Amino acid sequence: MSQEQVNTEETPQPELQKTYLLSTISYTDKADYDKFLENLSPEHALIVLISAANHGQLKGAYNLDEAELIAKAIRKITPSASQNEQPAEEEAPKKAKTTAKKAK
């Protein structure tokens, strides 16, 4: 095998080491982390706070009352599937009433 043939083979690139924060947020280097911080949206901030609460719970940082309070607060600020369905159900009776008024 000639030297040229050996050099044409691709060598596998080592996978970059990831650093994890709060067990869910990962970055590969300082620039990647800085970019995440600079582009932090309100939605991402909420995810960070919920991740922090979950991470603390996994580490045993909260007593039972604190864990209950945090869980209730998270449920209060995050939409659930049942909340997303309710507006559609509320609109249906309004449309029916409007149709009934037009029929008179």
Q: Give residue for tokens 């945090």.
A: 70
Lookup: tokens for 18: 């990831």
pTM of the model as a whole: 0.58
Q: What is the mean pLDDT of the chain?
A: 78
What tens digit of pLDDT does each residue of 11-46 get?
A: 666 778 899 999 889 999 999 999 999 999 999 999
Q: Are 53 and 70 in contact (CB under 8 A)?
A: yes
Q: Which of 10-19, 49-58, 91-100 has the lowest mean pLDDT?
A: 91-100
How remote is the C-alpha of 91 from its chain's centroid?
Answer: 29
